[in-house]
Amino acid sequence: MKIPDAILARLAANEQVAKKFHHIEISVLTILNFQDFFEQLLTKVGQTFQIPHVWISIIQESAIADQILAMEDSAVLKSSTSFITHSTFLRLIGSYRQPLLANQNLDRFSPLVPPEAHYDIGSIAIAPLFIDGELIGSLNQADQVCDRFMPGIDTDLLARLSLKISLCLSNVAAHEKLRHLAFHDPLTGLLNRRVMETILEREFERAKRYCTPLSVVFLDLDHFKRINDTFGHDQGDRALVCFAQSLGAAKRANDIVARFAGDEFVVILPSTTRQETDSYLARLNALLAQQPVKVNQSCFQINFSWGVASISDLGINRSADLLRHADQQLYVTKKNKKTLSG
């Protein structure tokens, strides 16, 4: 029996679309960071299918939301990413795991559109994306033409693309997690000692070259052993996390905060003199005063000691000298506190 020409034409068209999807998959398959992955994906989908509007929506509570928000230097993601709550996302697309097509009542999908975007949308295709089974958002395509994504059109190929993108995303997420652990302290999320020392060397060389100030603050918690002994190690960890968060909240955009070891932390303050570190320490003290750590019916205040060293101090010839001098100043401060407390 002869196959009708219309079916043959449809099969041929589907084969061409499948080849284009395969080309997109190959182009993103080896990318192992979120920024390059999404930039390449959005660009390729738009170019390959000549779709005027392609963007992603990320669920705010998803595992990758913070990492996407941190990509401030990505122009593509700034203009082509929206963030949406999980409840709003489900209200728009329901519990569908398949792509959703629409060309009527499109105003209801406005929460999916990037805030600064001004899209002329006649029809839209929303393909849910998953990482290890968790719904994290969607790949969205829109056209001015009303019948481009008309409900009832076969979405099988789009569903396959969504699945392949989701598998690639799982791979990228796993790699990004390993990379994060390589550079960050697992408890506090701050940079680890090895990365901090590398950054300090860079900032030291820059300060020397341009004759700009540079200061380092070495800090540790007062009576940390007593916290662990009195309230338990879980509460000791809470104190470390709370302190780390306050260190980060008090810093300026260019300051660097790291966990050195145990209850010891380091803050690198570029373009800051020894005297100017007082502003940072004042902000830190104010933050900690506002948030004692609560344990059942009681609470305890986090107190800390510090030592400061500046590139202008005598004997500072290397970046390691800054750390050593700041550590020595911290030791003197701790010793003086013990003397005063008797």
Which token pair is 39? 């930039």
Place of tokens 């999404």: 38
pLDDT number for residue 8: 47
pLDDT at 277 over 90: yes
Cα angle value 279/284/285 (rounded, 5°): 100
Q: Does domain 5-182 have CATH number 3.30.450.40?
A: yes
Q: Which residues contact 65 (CB under 8 A, 6 or more apart)?
A: 58, 59, 83, 136
Percent pLDDT > 90 in the chain is: 59
pLDDT at 2 over 70: no
Cβ count near 148 (within 10 Å): 20
List pLDDT tens digits, range 165-197. 898 888 888 888 888 788 999 999 999 999 999
Range with the poorest average pLDDT among 73-77, 100-104, 284-288, 311-315: 73-77
The sign of the dihedral angle between the CA atoms of 158, 162, 168, 172 is positive
Which token pair is 45? 């989908």
pLDDT at 6 over 80: no
pLDDT at 29 over 70: yes
Residue 129: what residue type? L
**What are the start and end residues of each CATH 3.30.450.40 domain in the chain?**
5-182
**What are the start and end residues of each CATH 3.30.70.270 domain in the chain?**
193-341
**Integer Cα distance of 65 and 129 in angstroms:** 13
pLDDT number for residue 28: 74
Arithmetic mean of pLDDT, 231-247: 93
Q: What is the pTM of this model?
A: 0.66
Of 202, 200, 205, give the one whose Cα is nearest residue 216.
200
The sign of the dihedral angle between the CA atoms of 239, 241, 244, 245 is negative
- Domain spanning 193-341 has what CATH number? 3.30.70.270
List pLDDT tens digits, range 68-90. 887 766 777 778 899 999 999 99
